[in-house]
Amino acid sequence: MSDIIQNLKDSFGSYGFSSWQALVSLLFVVVVIVIIAKYRKDIFELSTRSIVAVGIGAALYAAISFIAIPIGPNTSFRIAIALLTIFGALFGPVVGFLVGFIGHALNDAMAWGSVWWSWVFLSAILGLFAGFVKVDKKFNPLKGLLEKKHIVQMYLFAFMSIFAASLVAYAGDVFLYGEPAGKVWLQIIIASFSNFGVIAVVGIPAVIVLANMNKSKQNLVEEE
């Protein structure tokens, strides 16, 4: 095993970065997905409703992405990131992933003419992680079901998503686009702070607001 890691380190040595970090994070994401798939298979099934949610969510994401304030070198503050948290929490990880992927790719293609694939995956992974909270059946903001522990979970998953997404974007930028590592780190650190800020200040509170609104509408109790 150490030989393999050493080999990988050598082959990517000229980039000043070891690819095993990216590999470990990728493995981590895969393991999480496999565990969830084992317990909640239904989470990965796409109903008609979630398909429409992906479509409208992606349209929203692409439309709101036009509100962007540059905060770093080719990096901007985007309020649209909050949508990933909201759609992930409302409809689950698959919808979150697809909203991020399709929305970001559409916005890139239509506003700028070229798609920056590694950052498309950054958005997609933020959405994916935002949906993991939905694994708990007691969590459903559309029916007004939200407990305190879910809020803590959402913040935890948001924190983890920032790391996973950063590593994916980093790997893509450095290995595919051939950007120097130092510059990419600068961009990623700026983007991570702004993204986490948006998720923590706008995204998660919006989910809580929606859940509370739906709670007051709900006067029927589901029987087991």
Partner 1 sequence: MSRSGSLYIERPSIIHRLDGSTKLLLLIGWTAFIFMFMDIRIFSIMIVLGFSLLKVSKIPWKSIKPLTYFVVAFSLINSLILLLVTPQYGSELSGSYTKLISYFGGAITLETVWYAVTLSFKYVSILPITLLFVFTTHPSRFASSLNRIGVSYKVAYAVSIAFRYIPDVKEEMMNIMHAQEARGVAFRKGDASLVKRLRNFVTILVPLLISSLNRIEVVSNALQLRGFGYEKKRTWYNRRPLTINDGISILLMTGLIGLGIYLKSQLTYFWLFY
> What residue ranges bind partner 1 (CB under 8 A)?
14, 16, 46-49, 51-60, 62-64, 67, 69, 73-74, 77, 79, 82-83, 86, 90, 98, 102-103, 106, 109-110, 112-115, 117, 142, 176-183, 186, 202, 206, 209-210
Q: Which is nearer to partner 1, 24 or 52 (CB)?
A: 52
Q: Which is nearer to partner 1, 151 or 160 (CB)?
A: 151
Closest distance to partner 1 from the beta carbon of 7 (Å)? 17
* Residue 191 Cα distances to 45, 46, 122, 130, 184, angstroms: 32, 31, 10, 17, 10
Continuous H helices in the chain: 2-11, 19-39, 48-64, 81-91, 93-107, 117-130, 148-171, 181-198, 204-217
Q: Which is nearer to partner 1, 49 or 149 (CB)?
A: 49
Closest distance to partner 1 from the beta carbon of 4 (Å)? 22
Closest distance to partner 1 from the beta carbon of 127 (Å)? 13
Distance, CA of 11 to CA of 90 (rounded, Å):
42
Between the CA atoms of 174, 102, 84 and 192, what dihedral angle is there, to the nearest 10 degrees? 10
Among 43, 94, 97, 86, smallest CA distance to 211 is for 86
DSSP letter (8 states) at residue 113: S
Closest distance to partner 1 from the beta carbon of 217 (Å)? 12
Distance, CA of 121 to CA of 136 (rounded, Å):
25
Q: Which is nearer to partner 1, 77 or 132 (CB)?
A: 77
Distance, CA of 47 to CA of 49 (rounded, Å):
5
Closest distance to partner 1 from the beta carbon of 1 (Å)? 27
Q: Which is nearer to partner 1, 83 or 158 (CB)?
A: 83
